[in-house]
Amino acid sequence: MTKIIETSNENETMAAGEDLAIEILNLKSDKSVVVFLEGELGAGKTTFTKGMLKGFDYNELVKSPTYNLVEIHQTKTHRIFHFDLYRISEPIELEEIGIDEYLNELKSVTIIEWPKNGEAVLPSPDFHVHISYKASNSKRELQIS
Ligand SMILES: Nc1ncnc2c1ncn2[C@@H]1O[C@H](COP(=O)(O)OP(=O)(O)O)[C@@H](O)[C@H]1O
Ligand SMILES: [Mg+2]
Protein backbone atom coordinates (compact mmCIF):
# COMPACT_ATOMS: atom_id res chain seq x y z
CA MET A 1 0.00 0.00 0.00
CA THR A 2 1.35 3.43 -0.96
CA LYS A 3 0.18 6.68 0.53
CA ILE A 4 0.87 9.90 -1.36
CA ILE A 5 1.05 13.18 0.54
CA GLU A 6 1.79 16.61 -0.87
CA THR A 7 3.38 19.13 1.43
CA SER A 8 3.87 22.87 0.92
CA ASN A 9 6.32 23.62 3.67
CA GLU A 10 8.70 22.18 6.23
CA ASN A 11 6.02 21.90 8.93
CA GLU A 12 3.75 19.78 6.77
CA THR A 13 6.61 17.37 6.02
CA MET A 14 7.34 17.20 9.75
CA ALA A 15 3.67 16.44 10.40
CA ALA A 16 3.85 13.52 7.95
CA GLY A 17 6.86 12.21 9.88
CA GLU A 18 4.98 12.63 13.13
CA ASP A 19 2.10 10.57 11.71
CA LEU A 20 4.45 7.75 10.73
CA ALA A 21 5.93 7.71 14.24
CA ILE A 22 2.45 7.43 15.72
CA GLU A 23 1.68 4.58 13.33
CA ILE A 24 4.84 2.81 14.55
CA LEU A 25 3.91 3.45 18.20
CA ASN A 26 0.46 2.00 17.53
CA LEU A 27 2.03 -1.25 16.33
CA LYS A 28 2.84 -1.81 20.02
CA SER A 29 5.59 -4.18 18.94
CA ASP A 30 9.03 -4.67 20.46
CA LYS A 31 10.55 -5.62 17.13
CA SER A 32 12.97 -3.23 15.51
CA VAL A 33 11.54 -1.11 12.72
CA VAL A 34 13.52 0.05 9.68
CA VAL A 35 12.56 3.15 7.70
CA PHE A 36 14.25 4.09 4.40
CA LEU A 37 14.19 7.76 3.40
CA GLU A 38 14.97 8.49 -0.22
CA GLY A 39 15.05 11.71 -2.20
CA GLU A 40 17.54 14.27 -3.46
CA LEU A 41 19.66 16.55 -1.31
CA GLY A 42 17.37 19.08 0.36
CA ALA A 43 14.20 17.12 -0.38
CA GLY A 44 13.30 16.96 3.31
CA LYS A 45 14.56 13.62 4.63
CA THR A 46 16.07 15.12 7.76
CA THR A 47 13.01 17.33 8.21
CA PHE A 48 10.81 14.22 8.04
CA THR A 49 13.03 12.53 10.64
CA LYS A 50 12.67 15.53 12.96
CA GLY A 51 8.90 15.12 12.64
CA MET A 52 9.18 11.44 13.45
CA LEU A 53 11.15 12.23 16.59
CA LYS A 54 8.51 14.74 17.59
CA GLY A 55 5.93 11.95 17.15
CA PHE A 56 7.98 9.87 19.59
CA ASP A 57 7.63 12.75 22.01
CA TYR A 58 11.32 13.62 21.74
CA ASN A 59 11.86 17.34 22.08
CA GLU A 60 15.61 17.76 22.08
CA LEU A 61 17.71 19.19 19.26
CA VAL A 62 17.98 16.85 16.27
CA LYS A 63 20.92 17.46 13.98
CA SER A 64 21.70 15.83 10.70
CA PRO A 65 24.02 12.81 11.01
CA THR A 66 25.86 13.60 7.79
CA TYR A 67 29.22 13.90 9.55
CA ASN A 68 28.74 11.26 12.24
CA LEU A 69 26.99 8.65 10.11
CA VAL A 70 24.58 7.95 12.95
CA GLU A 71 22.87 10.02 15.62
CA ILE A 72 21.23 8.16 18.50
CA HIS A 73 18.19 9.46 20.34
CA GLN A 74 16.62 7.79 23.36
CA THR A 75 12.90 8.52 23.41
CA LYS A 76 10.46 7.43 26.11
CA THR A 77 9.71 4.18 24.26
CA HIS A 78 12.36 3.57 21.61
CA ARG A 79 15.97 4.12 20.74
CA ILE A 80 16.08 5.89 17.41
CA PHE A 81 19.11 5.37 15.18
CA HIS A 82 19.22 8.04 12.50
CA PHE A 83 21.70 7.18 9.75
CA ASP A 84 22.77 9.28 6.80
CA LEU A 85 24.71 7.16 4.30
CA TYR A 86 25.43 10.03 1.89
CA ARG A 87 29.17 9.73 2.47
CA ILE A 88 29.35 5.95 2.45
CA SER A 89 31.09 4.59 -0.60
CA GLU A 90 31.30 0.89 0.29
CA PRO A 91 28.54 -0.93 2.18
CA ILE A 92 31.27 -2.80 4.08
CA GLU A 93 31.80 0.42 6.05
CA LEU A 94 28.41 -0.28 7.60
CA GLU A 95 29.41 -3.79 8.58
CA GLU A 96 32.54 -2.37 10.18
CA ILE A 97 30.51 -0.09 12.44
CA GLY A 98 28.31 -3.04 13.41
CA ILE A 99 25.10 -2.10 11.61
CA ASP A 100 23.57 -5.47 12.57
CA GLU A 101 23.67 -4.60 16.25
CA TYR A 102 21.61 -1.50 15.57
CA LEU A 103 19.20 -3.39 13.36
CA ASN A 104 18.67 -6.22 15.84
CA GLU A 105 18.03 -4.10 18.90
CA LEU A 106 14.54 -4.49 20.33
CA LYS A 107 12.40 -1.37 20.76
CA SER A 108 14.42 0.54 18.22
CA VAL A 109 13.69 2.40 15.03
CA THR A 110 16.43 2.75 12.44
CA ILE A 111 15.85 5.62 10.02
CA ILE A 112 18.19 5.63 7.03
CA GLU A 113 18.79 8.51 4.61
CA TRP A 114 20.47 7.48 1.30
CA PRO A 115 19.80 3.75 1.89
CA LYS A 116 20.90 2.89 -1.66
CA ASN A 117 24.50 3.47 -0.55
CA GLY A 118 24.19 0.55 1.87
CA GLU A 119 21.73 -1.59 -0.02
CA ALA A 120 24.00 -4.63 -0.19
CA VAL A 121 24.09 -5.04 3.60
CA LEU A 122 20.70 -3.64 4.64
CA PRO A 123 17.47 -5.59 5.15
CA SER A 124 14.38 -4.56 3.26
CA PRO A 125 12.64 -1.79 5.17
CA ASP A 126 9.35 -1.90 7.06
CA PHE A 127 8.52 1.55 5.71
CA HIS A 128 9.81 3.23 2.62
CA VAL A 129 9.47 7.00 2.18
CA HIS A 130 10.37 8.70 -1.06
CA ILE A 131 10.33 12.49 -1.17
CA SER A 132 10.43 14.33 -4.47
CA TYR A 133 10.41 17.94 -5.51
CA LYS A 134 7.32 19.34 -7.18
CA ALA A 135 7.27 22.32 -9.52
CA SER A 136 7.43 25.08 -6.92
CA ASN A 137 10.33 25.51 -4.52
CA SER A 138 8.62 24.40 -1.37
CA LYS A 139 6.24 21.75 -2.68
CA ARG A 140 7.16 18.13 -2.09
CA GLU A 141 5.48 14.83 -2.80
CA LEU A 142 5.92 12.08 -0.24
CA GLN A 143 5.29 8.46 -1.17
CA ILE A 144 5.03 6.30 1.91
CA SER A 145 4.76 2.55 1.57
N1 LIG B 1 7.64 21.00 1.75
C2 LIG B 1 8.84 20.93 2.36
N3 LIG B 1 9.18 19.84 3.06
C4 LIG B 1 10.42 19.73 3.64
N5 LIG B 1 11.36 20.67 3.59
C6 LIG B 1 11.08 21.79 2.91
C7 LIG B 1 9.82 21.98 2.27
N8 LIG B 1 9.82 23.18 1.68
C9 LIG B 1 11.02 23.72 1.92
N10 LIG B 1 11.79 22.91 2.67
C11 LIG B 1 13.18 23.17 3.06
O12 LIG B 1 14.00 22.21 2.41
C13 LIG B 1 15.07 21.83 3.26
C14 LIG B 1 15.06 20.33 3.50
O15 LIG B 1 16.24 20.00 4.14
P16 LIG B 1 16.55 18.58 4.76
O17 LIG B 1 15.37 18.08 5.49
O18 LIG B 1 17.83 18.70 5.50
O19 LIG B 1 16.75 17.71 3.43
P20 LIG B 1 17.51 16.33 3.19
O21 LIG B 1 17.75 15.68 4.52
O22 LIG B 1 16.59 15.55 2.30
O23 LIG B 1 18.79 16.67 2.48
C24 LIG B 1 14.92 22.61 4.54
O25 LIG B 1 15.71 23.76 4.46
C26 LIG B 1 13.44 22.99 4.54
O27 LIG B 1 13.18 24.18 5.24
MG1 LIG C 1 19.50 14.96 5.42
pLDDT in tens, 68-92: 899 999 999 999 999 999 999 899 9
Ligand 2 center to 12 CA (angstroms): 17
Pair 20, 52: CB distance under 8 Å: yes
Where does residue 141 rank: exposed (0-12), middle (13-18), buried (19+ CB within 10 A)?
Answer: middle
pLDDT tier at 67, thresholds 50, 70, 90: confident
Is 7 a pocket residue for ligand 1 (Cβ < 6 Å)?
yes
Q: What is the pTM for the complete model shown? A: 0.96
Number of structural domains found in the chain = 1
pLDDT in tens, 8-59: 999 999 999 999 999 999 999 999 999 999 999 999 999 999 999 999 999 8
Sheet with strand 70-74: strands edge to edge? 3-7, 140-144, 127-133, 33-38, 108-113, 79-84, 70-74
Q: At 83, which CATH number?
A: 3.40.50.300
pLDDT in tens, 84-140: 999 998 999 999 989 999 999 999 999 999 999 999 999 999 999 999 998 878 999
Domain that holds residue 69: 3-144
Ligand 1 center to 29 CA (angstroms): 30
